[in-house]
C-alpha cells in the first residue's frame, strides 16, 4: 500500500474525536492549576479531581488518536445505520429520569434509567434490568448519602409514607 492510500485509509473521525478529548483534558488540567489553594489544603485539595479527570481525558484522547491513525475507517453496513428503535429507547431514558426523580426519588428513577438504556442496547429482560438498576442505584445512594454526606432526592412517596411531625 502506498502512503497516499494509507493516509486515506485512516479513521479521520477517531483522530478528530481523540483530538477534542485530549484538548478538553489539557484545558481542564490547565484550569485546575488556576484554582487557588488555602494553606490548609493538603494532598486532596480542590485541584486533585480536575487534574485526575483531565489527565485521564488526555490519555484517552491520545489513545483514540493512535487508534485512528493505525486503523482504517469502517463503513457501516446499511442495516447498522437504521437502529432507530434502540436510539429512541436510550433517548427516552433521560427525560424519563427527569420526570420520575421528583415524585419517585433517586433510586427508582435511576433504576428506570438503567432499564430503558439496557432495552436500547438490546436487552429483552425488563424485570432483571429493573432489579439490577435498583441494586446499582441503591449502592450509589448509600455511597453518596453515607459515604460522602450528600443528600439525594428521596421522592414525594417518602413524604407520604414518613410525614414529619
What integer pLDDT is reported at residue 85 of this predicted model?
85
> Given 32, 51, 79, which residue is the final one in a domain?
79
Q: Examine the domain organization and report whether 73 and 103 are in the same domain.
A: no
pLDDT band at 6, cuts 50/70/90? very low
Domain that holds residue 58: 3-79
> Given 79, 113, 139, which residue is the final one in a domain?
79
Residues in CB range of 107: below 8 A, 6 or more apart: 134, 137, 138, 141
Question: What gap in Å lies between CA 10 and CA 13, rounded to an integer?
Answer: 9
Q: Examine the domain organization and report whether 13 and 36 are in the same domain.
A: yes
Per the model's pLDDT, the better-predicted residue between 19 and 77 turns out to be: 19
Q: Examine the domain organization and report whether 67 and 116 are in the same domain.
A: no
What integer pLDDT is reported at residue 73 of this predicted model?
67
Phi-psi region of 155 (alpha: psi -120 to 50; beta: other; left: phi over 0): left
> Given 27, 52, 79, which residue is the final one in a domain?
79
pLDDT band at 84, cuts 50/70/90? confident
Per the model's pLDDT, the better-predicted residue between 42 and 105 turns out to be: 105
Q: Examine the domain organization and report whether 139 and 121 are in the same domain.
A: yes
Q: Examine the domain organization and report whether 11 and 74 are in the same domain.
A: yes
Q: Examine the domain organization and report whether 59 and 111 are in the same domain.
A: no
Is the pLDDT confidence value at 8 over 80? Answer: no
Q: Examine the domain organization and report whether 45 and 113 are in the same domain.
A: no
Is the pLDDT confidence value at 139 over 90? Answer: yes
Question: What gap in Å lies between CA 109 and CA 33, rounded to an integer?
Answer: 36
Amino acid at each position: 500500500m502506498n502512503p497516499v492510500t494509507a493516509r486515506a485509509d485512516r479513521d479521520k473521525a477517531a483522530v478528530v474525536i481523540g483530538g477534542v478529548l485530549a484538548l478538553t483534558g489539557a484545558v481542564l488540567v490547565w484550569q485546575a492549576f488556576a484554582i487557588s489553594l488555602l494553606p490548609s489544603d493538603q494532598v486532596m485539595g480542590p485541584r486533585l479531581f480536575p487534574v485526575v479527570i483531565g489527565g485521564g481525558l488526555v490519555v484517552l484522547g491520545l489513545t483514540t488518536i493512535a487508534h485512528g491513525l493505525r486503523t482504517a475507517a469502517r463503513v457501516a453496513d446499511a442495516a447498522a445505520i437504521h437502529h432507530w428503535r434502540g436510539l429512541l429507547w436510550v433517548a427516552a431514558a433521560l427525560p424519563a429520569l427527569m420526570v420520575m426523580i421528583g415524585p419517585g426519588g433517586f433510586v427508582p428513577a435511576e433504576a428506570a434509567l438503567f432499564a430503558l438504556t439496557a432495552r436500547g442496547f438490546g436487552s429483552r429482560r425488563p424485570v432483571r434490568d429493573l432489579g439490577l438498576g435498583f441494586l446499582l442505584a441503591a449502592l450509589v445512594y448509600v455511597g453518596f448519602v453515607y459515604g460522602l454526606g450528600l443528600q439525594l432526592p428521596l421522592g414525594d412517596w417518602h413524604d407520604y409514607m414518613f410525614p414529619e411531625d
